[in-house]
Structures are given as structure tokens and as C-alpha cells.
Amino acid sequence: MKEKHIFWQSSSWVLSLLLVLPILAIFYTALGDSDEVFSHLISTVMGTYTANTFWLVLGTSVLALLLGLPSAWIMAMCRLPGEKMLQWALVLPLAMPGYIVGYIYTNWFDYAGPVQIFLRDVFGWQTIHDYWFPNIRSLGGACIVLALVLYPYIYLLARAAFMEQSVSLLQSARLLRCSPWQSFRHISLPLARPSIAVALSLVAMETLGDFGTVSYFAVNTLTTAVYDTWLGYSNLNAAAKISSLMLLVIFFLISTERFSRRKQKLFQQQFEHGDDVRYTLTGAKKWCAIIWCWGLVCMAFAFPLLQLGYYAWHYFAESWTTQFLQYSLNSLSVSIITSVVAVILALIVNFYRRLDGSKYTAVPMRLASLGYAVPGTVLAIGVMIPLTSADHLVNDFTQAYGFGRPGLIFSGTMFAIVFAFVVRFAAVAIGSVESSLAKISPSLDMASKTMGYASTAMLRRIHLPLIRRGCLIAGLLVFIESMKELNAALLLRPFNFETLATYVFNFASDEQLEQAALPAILLVIVGLIPLVMINRSLEQKH
């Protein structure tokens, strides 16, 4: 038994250190010489990049809060016609990649788009000098687009917080004749602040790591600076310096999230299922709430999806090509391999923690989960550094022993994308497997040890059958996230290798959204699966 524990211990630590290696490599490379490229960026454009990033994160977070918070309170505390469908529909924008929504809205609201053409026809305007129209390809436009697809983070966590609040407090507020607004401001909002802070940190991290939207909108941020410095200046050290700055910001946001969760433990949450203290909206209030909520769904999901469907229908022959099938197969292969590896890794680190309940056994789990907070563009830098070094070591070794040079077997193949995806999404699998293992009684472990089962046999014959559903869900979530990932795939894909995400990005960047519609719809459909699972989980819980 002791030998098996050593195996699980060593495996957990080795795998977790491998997954945290890209993050360490970024900071280590950032200490190297960047040939004055970084100094040049600091003295010229870095101030603009930093300011754009700050205003992008701030603007998106504020807009997402203004969109998601009222919707969450309405769905949690009010009765509306069709509320069952609306609760589910408000989550759907998370399945829509931000850069796809940005392409569609640019197509609609640009000078040559149908909206401005209609206005010119109606009012008789001839040129752009005859009227003023906001520029969609701007920092403000990027904030609006990102807020439309990210507000569900606010909606989900705030709605859950509102629904878990003590009914007695809300009933007391009514006895004191507090209006709905007073009840929201003095009771519901203060109790939900920790959850809202967590949701805002998620929105901020997603915004900070976005590349597709800001690139198309020509908004220079730190993410685009990493991309341009690496590929434009061919300077990995300077790109690592910028990436390390972004990681420091992300770690600050994560610390804020942890602090908010710690505060949340102070609150006593009691939700009685038999009591319904929701408000019944009537008249103008009811219609305003319906228009607000359904308007969000239409603007962020339904209208863009209908536009994609229109393009896919009319340009199906041009879209259904051998390239589309090949790139779909590429995405399928990468995602399946990533999900299998991530689930195996999650089983190892979780089972080790279960075998040895000391506080230090949680460290490998936490280290292996750090990559989820790292933006894909930054992660690509961190992955490329150790893989390139490994390629040089292998080539030098084989050449020294007369076997020739095998080439870039790590950094120049699909291995780089799979490794990056595992680092990025291992936390998803670890969390799912952890929750499944927590439901298994420790008495089963004791009984299996009494019967003489070794740890491997106990995992195979006792735990795996019981957590099979959790493992399948973990693999499915990792598969879906891998299918949609753009940033890391864009930088790490081998020569002549595309995924569906990069395929859509390339077409849309070339203003050929019509041919990108079919693969974009496929990505959206794949992204809907976890949202259905999340919504069902909330319904069962409440």
C-alpha cells in the first residue's frame, strides 16, 4: 500500500508541475534580454495598450453588470409569463463567441451595413458628412459586444445568490412595507455582493484574455501586444514580459475572487422551498421586464444566430468543402485527446488527495488548476518556451548519437495544441471529478481496505463505477471548451493545420463571414451543451 501511495504522490506532483511549467517559463523568460524591443514598446505604444486594456475591462465589466444584474433579480424575485423558458434563454449568449458577434454587428452597423443604408434612404443623407453615427469598430463597440456575450456570468451567479437568500429577511422587509426597490437595495444587493464580485472578476479575466474581438475591432490591448510582439517582432522575451504583466493582473483578480468567497461564508443562507416570496409584476412593469429580458436574448444570441443561419443556408455549397470537413476532424481529434488526458490527470490528483487526506495533498490540484485563469495568448507563450527547449534537447541528443534530427516533434506538431489545452482546461475536469468523489462515503474506502484491495484496485472496482457520470461530464466540458478555444490554437497550430475556431476567425477576418457561418453555427451548437447542463443543475438545486 505504501508503494502505491508513493506512485500516486509522485504522479500527482510530476503532472501538476508539468502543467504549471508554462506559467513559470513565462516569468523566467521575462527576465531575459529582449534586445531593447520591450524598452521601445514602453516608450512608444505600451501606455496606449495598457490604457485601452484598462478601459476595455472596466467598460465591459460595467456594461455586463448593468445587463446581467437586473435580469438576475427579475428572474429570481419576480413572476413573469414564460419564465421557465426565459431563465434558460438568458444563459444562451455564453455559447456565442464574442468575435462572431462582433463580426455580425460590424456588418450591420458599419457605413455599408443595412442600418446606415436604411437611415440614408429614409432621411435623404448622401455622404457620411451629412450625419453622425457611432463607430462600431471602436473601444466602445468592443465593450458592448463583449458585454453582450459575458453578462450571463453576472446573471448566473447573481441569480443563484438572490435565490439562496433567507426568505425570513425578505418577508420581514415586506412587513416593514419596503418597496421592491428598497428590498433590492438594502437586502438582496448587499447579501449578493460577494457573488457579484466573483462574477465581475470572471468577466474581467475573460475580457483581458480576448483576442478575436479586439483584433477585429482594431483595439490594441495587452493581448494583441503579446501577439504582435511574438509574431511581428519575433521577440519571445519581450512577449513574455508583457505576458508576465498580464499574469500579475490576473492573479490580482483571482485574489479578489478568493477574498469575496471568504466573505460569503459569513452569511447565513437559508432557502425554504415551500415559500414563494416573489413579486407578481403587472401592467407596465411586467411588459418592461419582459421586453428587457427577451431583448437581451435577441440582441446577444437570437439575432446573430439567425444571421448566421441565413448565411449558412444561402452559402451552404461554398461552405461545405473538404477543408471544412478536414478542419472539423482536426478539432474533433484535438478535443477528444485533450478531454481524455484531462480526465486521467483529474483522476490521479483527486485520488491522491483522497488516499492521503493531509492538507498538502491539495497543492497538486491547485497547481494543476492555475492554467484556467491564463489567457490563451499568454498561455501559448508559456507553452512554446519549454516545448522549444525540449525540441532542441531531443535534436541535439539524436544528432550526437548519429540518428539525425527528427525536427520539431513537440512545438511543431499537434502536441503543442493538446498540451496547451490540457493546461488551460484541466481545472474543469479536476472540479467535476472532485465533486463526484466527494459524494462517495469514506466508509467504502475503509471497507475496501479491509477486504485487502490495493489503491489501484480500489479505484478501478469501487470509485470509477460510482464517478463514471462525473468523469463523462468532465470529459464533455473539456471537449467543448477545446472545440471553441481560439487564442492558443491560433498561435500554436502547426503548418497547414486549422481548427474550426481558427477557420472561422480567418474567414471572418477577411470579411468572408458568409463562408464562416456554417462552422460558426457548429461551434455555437457545441457551446450550448454545457449551458443546458448548468441550467438543469440550477433548477434541481432550487
Question: Can you give the residue ranges of every domain in the chain?
Answer: 1-32+315-500, 33-96+138-304
| Sequence-ordered list of residues with C-beta below 8 angstroms from that of 294, at least 6 positions apart, any chain | 86, 89
pLDDT at 521 over 80: yes
pLDDT of residue 212: 86
Sign of CA pseudo-dihedral 361, 364, 370, 371: negative
Q: What was the pLDDT predicted at 261?
A: 57
Q: How far apart are alpha carbons 495 and 504 in whole angstroms?
A: 17
For the segment 134-158, the average pLDDT, to the nearest whole number, is 91
Domain spanning 1-32+315-500 has what CATH number? Answer: 1.10.3720.10
Banded model confidence at residue 144, pLDDT cuts 50, 70, 90:
very high
Rounded to the nearest integer, the mean pLDDT of the chain is 83
Nearest to 151 by CA among 56, 57, 63, 64: 64
Joined grid coordinates for residue 155 = 446573471
State how far the Cα of 302 lies from the Cα of 295, in Å rounded to an integer: 9
Nearest to 167 by CA among 276, 51, 33: 276
**140 pLDDT band (50/70/90 cuts)?**
very high
Contacts of 515 (CB under 8 A, 6+ apart): 315, 318, 319, 507
The pLDDT of residue 356 is: 75
Average pLDDT over residues 410-419: 90
- What CATH number has the domain spanning 33-96+138-304? 1.10.3720.10
Name the more confident of 170 and 37: 37
192-211 mean pLDDT: 84
CB atoms within 10 A of CB 313: 11
pLDDT of amino acid 173: 63
* 3-class secondary structure, 488: helix
Please check the confidence at residue 411 and state whether its pLDDT lies above 90.
no
Mean pLDDT of 290-305: 93
The answer to which of 55-64, 181-190, 229-238 has the lowest mean pLDDT is 181-190
Give me the count of residues in the chain: 542
Q: Which residue has the higher pLDDT, 268 or 213?
A: 213
**pLDDT for the residue 490:** 87
Sign of the torsion formed by the C-alpha atoms of 297, 298, 302 and 307? negative
Report whether pLDDT(377) > 80: yes
Q: Cα–Cα distances in Å, from 272 out to 27, 163, 170, 434, 538? A: 49, 10, 12, 28, 15
Mean pLDDT of 32-40: 76
Q: Which of 13-17, 275-279, 323-327, 535-539 has the lowest mean pLDDT?
A: 535-539
The mean pLDDT value for 348-366 works out to: 82
Q: List 221's β-bridge partners, or say none.
A: none
Percent of the chain with pLDDT over 70: 87
Q: Which residue has the cell 502536441?
A: 415
Average pLDDT over residues 306-331: 89
Cell 471529478 belongs to which residue?
A: 433
For the packed helices 222-231 and 236-264, what is the interaxial angle rounded to 10 degrees? 150
- Residue, of 41 and 540, whose pLDDT is higher: 41
More confident: 234 or 73: 73
pLDDT at res. 438: 79
Nearest Cα residue to 334 out of 498, 487, 508: 498
Per-residue model confidence (pLDDT) at position 271: 47
Q: What is the pLDDT of residues 389-404, one digit of tens each?
A: 898 898 888 888 877 7
Q: How confident is the model at residue 145 (pLDDT cuts 50, 70, 90)?
A: very high
The rounded distance, in Å, linking the Cα atoms of 514 and 499 is 18
- Round to whole Å and give the CA distance between 145 and 142: 5
Q: Can you tell me the mean pLDDT for 133-152?
A: 92
Say if residue 269's pLDDT is above 50. no
Q: Per residue in 67-90, pLDDT tens?
A: 999 998 888 888 888 888 888 889
Residue 262 has pLDDT above 60, yes or no: no
Residue 3 pLDDT level (bands cut at 50, 70, 90): very low
Task: Check residues 259 and 469 and name the one with the higher pLDDT.
Answer: 469
CB of 33 closer than 8 Å to CB of 237: yes
Average pLDDT, stretch 425-433? 86
Is the whole-model pTM more than 0.75? yes
- Identical topology for domains 1-32+315-500 and 33-96+138-304: yes
Residues 6+ apart with CB under 8 A from 419: 383, 387, 410
* Mean pLDDT, residues 378-399 taken together: 88
